Structure 1
Amino acid sequence: MAAGLLVVLAVSCTSGPDSPKSTAGSSPPSQERSASSELQSDYIDVVNDVLPSVVEITTEGGLGSGVYDKQGHIVTNAHVVGEHRRFTVNLADHQQPLQAELVGRYRVNDLAVIRLEDPPSGLRPATFADSQEVEVGQIVLAMGNPLGLSSSVTQGIVSALGRTVSTPADGGSAPGTIPNMVQTSAAINPGNSGGALADLSSRVIGINTLGAVDERLGGAAPGIGFAIPSSAVTRIADQLIADGRVTSSGRAALGVTVRTVLETDSAPAGAAIVTVAEAGAADEADLRPGDIITGLGDARISSVQTLAEALAAHSPGDRVSMTYYRAGSSHTVQLTLDTLRSP
């Protein structure tokens, strides 16, 4: 919701011969200027409140952004930190770069936490919103360091909620699937990853992660970007800070590793189980290595990616049906989904 936005209601009236004429439905110029001035003031307030909490992270392989707390913990994207363990960090309001080290990464949700080795005094922690309060249409500002342009701000709206987004393979890691993403029209470019998506109450509603790619044009799709919602960010980051790993991701799992199997014409045919975790959902349902998963709930499974997308639509504890092939015969089993944990 846009804070401080003045809404002007037009009231019809009868004008006499000497009365100034007005157009029905229009607002006096002074009121229009007042509304735009208040909205502009809101933007400036948000930038002043949030931007000091957004940092620039440099590794040997690239550049990214992050948002930190008062103890010097910085949450960013896992693809920003990559395989590195040490980083150079530039704060928005400090001239000298600082050193940081890895606390933990959780590639499944593309999140990581690093920590300043010698945090300065006066750090301004970011305030995270409750994702349940985010609404489609509300104004948001994306802050980060796109293309190396430090402390940049772009503006847009929340375009959609609950998007399931597939992330590309990066640094040798397999493609991933992240559920419940916030879609925004605010521009998100390389270097923005890990930065803040903030509302007009100066709360971080998400961590900027990636922009959509138009495969037909081979480039970015303007006006379509995605951020990991704040509630998922804080849930994962808190666990990484406390334990260095994630045991309660809020995401459903089968407790298996899988690979894509192909038909004779090379078309994807299903997800073959490679390993089964002891006491996991698949183990409890008596699934075995070599079984080929072809359906989960209402979703047809043809590959590792489609299985990940189907699981992203469920929560731990959901009871679902699963179809699989074993020794040439089709079987269906009911199972209770487990919780996805750190690998």
Structure 2
Amino acid sequence: MFKPDDVAVLHTDAALHPATFADSSKLRIGQMVLAIGNPLGLQSSATQGIVSATSRTVSEGDGVVLPSVIQTSAAINPGNSGGALIDLQGRVVGMPTLAAADPQLGGGAAPGIGFAISSNSVRNVVRQLVSTGQVTHSDRAAIGTDLRTDPEGGARVVAVSAGGPAARAGIRAGDLLVTIDAKATPTVDDVAGVLATMRPGRRVFVGLVTDSGARRSVTIELGEIKSS
């Protein structure tokens, strides 16, 4: 399973009629869509809404970020994840995956704000999983570190992948990562959010604070997230 994109492939011998996938790059704001799934165990339930935005970058927490997702007003409830977001022609334009949480509602779902992985992203991941069993080209940037949010602000480097981009740039465990390309990164989620807007191979400046309190900047050539 390619964990960062929430997409998996299942094999079945059942006689099924496959759905048609549409080109999600052609979606337009305001377009009507339906979210189909099994919320609360109710099979084949559907909710209606519009496409509110495309190419959103959304954090799931714990440093996991979904890039280029579709925002929709169609209600996404528990059990909709992994279902289908379809257009009025019955074509799959996305895969519902997440509902926005509202801190003012105690972390409950924010009405009218749901997210779906685009059909083009799903097809890209599925093709690779079917042909090779893993995602070899995610097109998602990585720096090759394990991070944790520091209470005083910044992402503390817990471990560095041997031979990875951070290691080649001289970043060490214990360093505090505070900026990427001049964008502040006070949390691990912020690091993931910034990287989600970038592509592998890009060279970026990373601002660090060492264990001794010294500030320094290094240049990293971004690597690529691999399947796990």
TM-score, normalized by length of structure 2? Answer: 0.92
Q: What's 1:52 paired with?
A: none
Residue in structure 1 matching 2:11, options 111, 115, 131: 115
Residue in structure 2 matching 1:262, options 119, 138, 151: 151
> What code does the residue aligned with 2:59 have?
S
Specify the structure having the higher radius of gyration (Cα): 1
> What code does the residue aligned with 2:214 have?
S
- 1:144 Cα deviation after fit: 0.9
Residue in structure 2 matching 1:275, options 156, 159, 162: 159
Whether 2:169 is the aligned partner of 1:290: answer no
Judge conservation of contact 2:19–2:92 (CA < 8 Å) in 1. Answer: yes
1:1-343 equivalences under 5 Å are 105-116=1-12, 119-121=13-15, 123-168=16-61, 174=62, 176-218=64-106, 219-263=108-152, 269-326=153-210, 327-343=212-228
Q: What's 1:102 paired with?
A: none
The whole-number CA distance in structure 2 between the counterparts of 1:305 and 1:112 is 23
> What code does the residue aligned with 2:25 have?
Q
Judge conservation of contact 2:63–2:192 (CA < 8 Å) in 1. Answer: no
Judge conservation of contact 2:63–2:188 (CA < 8 Å) in 1. Answer: no
The whole-number CA distance in structure 2 between the counterparts of 1:200 and 1:304 is 39
Q: How many residues align?
A: 226
> What code does the residue aligned with 1:180 have?
S
Q: Deviations over 1:150-177 (max 9, x none)?
A: 1112211100112121225xxxxx4521
Percent identical pairs in the alignment equals 48
Q: CA RMSD in A?
A: 1.6
Judge conservation of contact 2:24–2:118 (CA < 8 Å) in 1. Answer: yes
The whole-number CA distance in structure 1 between the counterparts of 2:20 and 2:182 is 39
- 1:225 Cα deviation after fit: 0.7
TM-score, normalized by length of structure 1? Answer: 0.62
The whole-number CA distance in structure 2 between the counterparts of 1:338 and 1:316 is 5
Q: What's 1:24 paired with?
A: none
> Secondary structure of 1:262's match?
coil
The whole-number CA distance in structure 2 between the counterparts of 1:284 and 1:135 is 42
- 1:254 Cα deviation after fit: 0.4
Seen in structure 2, the aligned counterparts of structure 1 residues 323 and 175 have a Cα distance that, compared at 3 Å, is: closer
> What code does the residue aligned with 2:206 have?
M
Moved more, 280-289 or 136-145: 280-289
- 1:127 Cα deviation after fit: 1.8
> Secondary structure of 1:132's match?
helix
> What code does the residue aligned with 2:223 have?
D
Judge conservation of contact 2:63–2:191 (CA < 8 Å) in 1. Answer: no
Judge conservation of contact 2:176–2:209 (CA < 8 Å) in 1. Answer: yes
Q: For structure 2, list consecutive stretches of 5 or more residues without a partner in the other structure.
A: none
> Secondary structure of 2:126's match?
helix
Q: What's 1:56 paired with?
A: none
Using CA pairs under 8 Å that are at least 6 residues apart, name the structure with larger relative contact order, 1 or 2: 2
Q: Deviations over 1:272-321 (max 9, x none)?
A: 22222233221221222222111001321112111111111211122211
> What code does the residue aligned with 1:235 have?
N
Judge conservation of contact 2:142–2:200 (CA < 8 Å) in 1. Answer: yes
